[in-house]
Structure 1
Amino acid sequence: MPRLFKNAAGPVFVGAGILHFVIPKTYESIMPDYLPAHRELVYASGVAEAAGGAALLSKNPTVRKYGAWWLIATLVAVFPANLHMALNPERYKKIPQPLLWARLPLQLGFVRMVLRAAKG
């Protein structure tokens, strides 16, 4: 994986986490209906992403390793929202349907990026 992606993982996740607080309604709109407390879950996932991204920026390899596993758990936890979008394309008319499905395997790419970033 190019060094750029490896070095970008921390800042990307910190930025994504911050966006959960800047534009929470956007994230709430992709939450599956069966989940309670959408706003609270959006904020919790934002904190999780930002904290994991910050851990990847650490010079301490142990912190990076734990941060990577934290982010992988976060990616697994938010996967239902991505699946929800793919299964309900009528709710997301601004996004082409093939992109809704393409996001699902991209999560594996993020996992790989996070693991590489953890190695420093």
Structure 2
Amino acid sequence: MLTVLLYLLIMVLVGGLLYFAASMVFGRSEELPPLPAGTTATVLPAEGVTGSDVRALRFQQTLRGYKASEVDWALDRLGREIDSLRAQLETRVGPAPADRGEAADGSDSAEPER
């Protein structure tokens, strides 16, 4: 019985040492406090959005996924940036040919060849 108690004591000491070593190496796992109400960590530059800006987007998570207002804001902002870039391109190059007609839903409107 004394041997079992000694093994148990050694296991507790080894476990404690491993826990202490891991907490020293990896930190105390502190989490950042939540953002104040009405603020967001989602940011995009005022103009000149790049691919890395879009990849760096982070949204707050809620019970049912991402916060919809932040996603809507980001999509609206990116849509305005695309419209602005297309307008700049049209002023430099000219309007796109009318026969390129893409469907409004983004699907390919051309019939496949048989």
Per the normalisation by structure 2, the TM-score is: 0.30
* Between structures 1 and 2, the one with greater helix share: 1
Q: Which has the larger radius of gyration?
A: 2
- State the TM-score, normalizing by the size of structure 1: 0.29
Higher RCO (CA < 8 A, seq sep 6+): 1
